[in-house]
Amino acid sequence: MSEYVRDDRDAHQFKINRTAMVDSAVLTMERSRVFDKSWLYVGHESELKKPNSFKTRTLAGRPIIFTRDHTGQIRVWLNSCPHRGAMLCRDRAGNARFMTCFYHGWSFNTAGEQVSMPGDQAYGENFERPGLASPPRLDSYRGFVFASFDPDIVSLEDYLAGAKEYLDLIADQSEVGMEVIEGTHEYSCKANWKLLVENSVDGYHAMSTHQRYFEMVLAARGDKVDISLVGKERGIALGNGHAVVAAPAGSDELLGRPLSDEGKAERAARYASIAAKHGDGWAERLRGSRNLVIFPNLIVIDLVMGVLIRKIDPITPDYMEVTAWHIVPPEEGPDLRAQRLDNFLTFWGPGGLASPDDVEALESAQRGFATHKELPWSDISRGMASTVNTGQDELQMRTWWRQWDELITGEVHPPEEKEPLTHPWSAQRQVLSATDSASQALPAS
Amino acid sequence: MQSVVRITPNRDQLAHAGGSVEVAQIALGGVPRGAALVLCSDRQRGGEDGHVLNELAMHGYEGIAATVDGTEGLDTQVSIVERMMERLARRGWHPGEVGVVGFESPIRLAARVGADAGFGALVTVSPTGLVEDGTDGLAGDLPALVSAVATPWLIMVGSCDPSAPAAAVTSLAGVLDERAAKYAQVVRFPGVAADYYQRSTESLELAASFDYWQRTLEWLNAQVEPRPTPLAQAWRDRHAVSAAPAQQVTHTRSHVRQEGA
């Protein structure tokens, strides 16, 4: 039986041992058993607009270069010179077909090939010239690029399982391809990384933790806020540890400052276009919000008024670094763009009205975990006894933790039995021809 | 006492379609990093071209320089560049191993050169011809011309250069970002005129003169193909390095702008 997770189906109790939040040995296990055995989000293809564009970032603690080579292929290289280990590229972003290590001057191109080394005659003619190393697996789903350090991992599509359709719901918002815009949020939090995973799909905390934000929305919208929508969300397990809190249509009237009539008209026209292409049910789903976690550390939050991509990186057991990007339909008009940017700043920004509250809550919890010997268990049981899970319940967190526990301890937790999803969450993406109302499901690949 | 060893360039006349032009050339021994084709301005007459070639040689680039004084037509200017490249080709350089650096040279010349020849890099210092007389906006024919450039292109201007007004420079940067197949960067130095690349003791000019040169070298190093050593070439031939990419991603086409060649 796992020492970290108590999953009591009879008593409807699910508990997490807080040792998992404070013990450096757990983080060491997470690095080898979770991060080295999962598909991990690298970035979005739209971040690399031209050949030889690059971004440097970290992946499972390793420095990497996320680039397009000169032929346009997406590549991920470990940012360490094969010669003596120095970081090959020390810029955050840029464009370079050739990168030269400042330590001894070895150069490589964006296809990973070594192109020069000073004084190479001293190595002799049979010296094997090393290229750049890469994660063994690299793949992309609708512009979202993932890599894995496990050469034997299942395909990305199999790994994503039910999360795929939630990425479809993001990707379908643009006719020309969603685009990550400039302006990355980077912040840190003195708390265990898993606390932010939980928080990102935790509907229960919203009203108590983010009271200030909702007061701002009420002040901006007056009596036009339809609070009957609150609590109508569903918590849904998507397989392989992925989960989502998905709300029905109407979230655009609940979150963010009010949109202009022009912006509303543009949004309505886009929904009509999506309905024509993919069916009314799909368009209705798209009009709702969703907080998605893709195991282990990718969060995609679509609150209609903006779409956030969040990557969470553990640094120590009580310290994490967070990177967040904003993904948008590039063709949208100025009013919708202004509302998105406003929300990215006022809700999700490190100086906004929501993220700082979350950071404070998580850091408070981490400080509280100093009592973990006296208070060893955290509770994530909400909704375990019911057959239909709302977003206020905690199925989504349990789903993530069960996958974590299986990878860490080997204990297999069967999924919770829940009633099948109903409208609107059951609506499937369809491909409708322009001349024929008959429809067909999206092919699997 | 001279503290730095300077190489005296060879000087001779280069015949081209419109006559001939004096060129300065420095050839390096060993295996140079790359080559540079330098188009100097009128301000650099009197030996400044040799200074530029020496500065490039310090970083492993041999080079050839000529002054394009603006009196020739565009076709003649292009012909001069072609003849200069032929000189470099005689020393075994192919265009991908060559960076073109132009000082106060016409932007249309840079666009022509960058569109066709497959050069490794293009650097334009204080381009001329961005605007039509009496206007601040980008000249009407330029969006189409610069969009066709298929060479990584660094453009640097001074904010006090009357031939590079802010509106035109902003438009140029936008067009290149949206439409050019290759990466381009437009840099605007504050408080300096078109001659910021010349040595000065005035603080903003000094800063710009240092920064423009650092950017030029970094641009060349990042974009110009290094000439392989004989051992590197032999290793490449044995391993057919470029034939088998290690990892491939199926990506969304709308996010990709393929190289032209």
**What are the boundaries of each domain within chain B?**
10-241
Closest Cβ–Cβ partner in A71, A95, A115 for B183: A95
pLDDT of residue A313: 98
Q: Which residues contact B30 (CB under 8 A, 6 or more apart)?
A: none
Report residue A143: phi and psi, to 5°.
Answer: 95, -15
A100 touching chain B per CB within 8 A? yes
For B122-141, write each residue's pLDDT tens digit. Answer: 999 999 999 998 789 999 99
- Give the amino acid at A51: P
Instruction: Grade residue A434 by pLDDT with cuts at 50, 70 and 90.
Output: low
B40 neighbors B67 (Cβ within 8 angstroms) = yes
| Token pair of B9 as six digits | 């360039």
Would you call B190 helix, strand, or coil by DSSP? coil
Query: Where is pLDDT greater, at B22 or A255?
Result: B22
State which fold the B10-241 domain adopts: Rossmann fold (3.40.50)
| Gap between the Cα atoms of A279 and A283, Å rounded | 6
Contact: A71, B228; criterion CB under 8 Å: no
For A218, list phi and psi in degrees, rounded to 5. -60, -40
Instruction: Quote the pLDDT of residue A228.
Output: 77
What is the 3-state secondary structure of chain A? CCCCEEEECCCCEEEEECHHHHCHHHHHHHHHHHHHHCCEEEEEHHHCCCCCEEEEEEECCEEEEEEECCCCCEEEEECCCCCCCCCCCCCCEEECCEEECCCCCCEEECCCCEEECCCHHHHCCCCCCCCCCCCCEEEEECCEEEEECCCCCCCHHHHHCCHHHHHHHHHCCCCCCCEECCCCEEEEECCCHHHHHHHHCCCCCHHHHCHHHHHHHHHHHHHHCCHHHCCCCEEEEEECCEEEEEEEECHHHCCCCCCCHHHHHHHHHHHHHHHHHHCHHHHHHHCEEEEEEECCCEEEEECCCCEEEEEEEEEECCEEEEEEEEEECCCCCHHHHHHHHHHHHHHHCCCCCCHHHHHHHHHHHHHHHHHCCCCCEEECCCCCCCCCCECCCCHHHHHHHHHHHHHHHCCCCCCCCCCCCCCCCCCCCEEECCCCCCEEECCCC
**Chain B residue nearest residue A89, CA to CA:** B222
Contact A68/A53 with Cβ under 8 angstroms? yes
**pLDDT for residue B247:** 54
What residues in A contact B235, CB-CB < 8 Å? 125, 127, 129
Q: In degrees rounded to 5, what are phi and psi of residue A362?
A: -70, -40
What's the average model confidence in pLDDT over A73-91?
Answer: 97
Rounded Cα gap, residues A146 and A42, in angstroms? 5
Give the tens place of pLDDT for each residue, A202-247.
Answer: 999 988 999 888 888 888 888 777 777 777 899 999 999 999 999 9
Residue with structure tokens 């894995």?
A148
**What pLDDT is recorded for position A50?**
96
Tell me the mean pLDDT in the region A296-319: 96
Cβ-based burial of B140 (10 A; exposed 0-12, middle 13-18, buried ≥19)? exposed
Q: Do A72 and B256 touch (CB under 8 A)?
A: yes
Computed over its alpha carbons, how large is the radius of gyration of chain B? 19
Whether residue B45 contacts residue B67, with contact meaning beta carbons closer than 8 Å, is answered with yes
What is the C-alpha to C-alpha distance for residues A282 and A429, in angstroms, rounded to an integer?
Answer: 5
d(CA A187, CA A278): 37
Sort out which chain B residues have CB atoms less than 8 A from A100's CB and list them.
221
Residues 241-300 of A with CB under 8 A from B: none
Task: Say if the Cβ atoms of B221 and A111 lie within 8 Å.
Answer: no
Q: How much is the average pLDDT of A318-342?
A: 95
Question: In this model, does residue A278 exceed pLDDT 70?
Answer: yes
Residue recorded with tokens 């540890």: A241
pLDDT in tens, B173-202: 999 999 999 999 999 999 999 999 998 889
Indicate whether A328 pLDDT > 60.
Answer: yes
Closest CA to A113 of B236, B227, B238: B236
Per-residue confidence (pLDDT) for residue B239, from 0 to 100: 83
d(CA A253, CA B41) in angstroms, rounded, equals 61
Place of tokens 């990186």: A313
B222 vs A96, A116, A117: nearest CB: A96
CA A406 to chain centre: 21
A95: closest CA among A52, A129, A132, A60?
A52
Nearest to B108 by CA among B76, B145, B161: B145
pLDDT one-digit tens code per residue, A37-65: 999 999 999 999 999 999 999 999 999 99
How many Å apart are CA A26 and CA B62, to the nearest integer? 56
A177 close contact with B: CB closer than 8 A: yes
Q: Shortest CB distance from A120 goes to which of B152, B229, B250? A: B229
Residue A436's alpha-carbon distances to A439, B15, B141, in angstroms, are 8, 68, 45
A71 touches chain B (CB under 8 A): yes
Q: What is the mean pLDDT of each run of 10 residues along chain B (261 residues)?
A: 82 91 96 97 90 97 90 88 97 97 96 92 97 90 96 98 96 96 97 94 94 98 96 88 50 40 28
Q: Is B214 on the interface with A (CB under 8 A)?
A: no
pLDDT digits 0-9 by tens, A60-74: 999 999 999 999 999
Q: Is B238 on the interface with A (CB under 8 A)?
A: no
How many CB pairs (< 8 A) connect A and B?
Answer: 115
Q: Does B237 touch chain A (CB under 8 A)?
A: no
Alpha-carbon distance of A255 to A352, in angstroms, equals 14
Of the candidates B182, B225, B228, which has its C-beta nearest A51's C-beta? Answer: B182
One-letter identity of residue A5: V
**Rounded to an integer, what distance in angstroms lies between the CA atom of residue A246 and that of residue A255?**
14
Distances (CA, A) of B177 to A6, B166, B172: 54, 16, 9
Q: What is the mean pLDDT of chain A?
A: 93
Write down the pLDDT at residue A344.
Answer: 87
Is the distance from CB of A28 to CB of A294 less than 8 angstroms? Answer: no
Phi (first) and psi of residue A397, to 5 degrees: -70, -40
Give the per-residue pLDDT at A433.
53
A445 touches B: beta carbon within 8 Å: no
- The one-letter amino acid code at B167 reads A
Query: Which pair of structure tokens corresponds to residue A412?
Result: 């297999």
- Residue among A98, A121, A134 whose CB faces B222 most closely: A98
A366 pLDDT higher than 50: yes
pLDDT computed for residue A438 by the predictor: 40
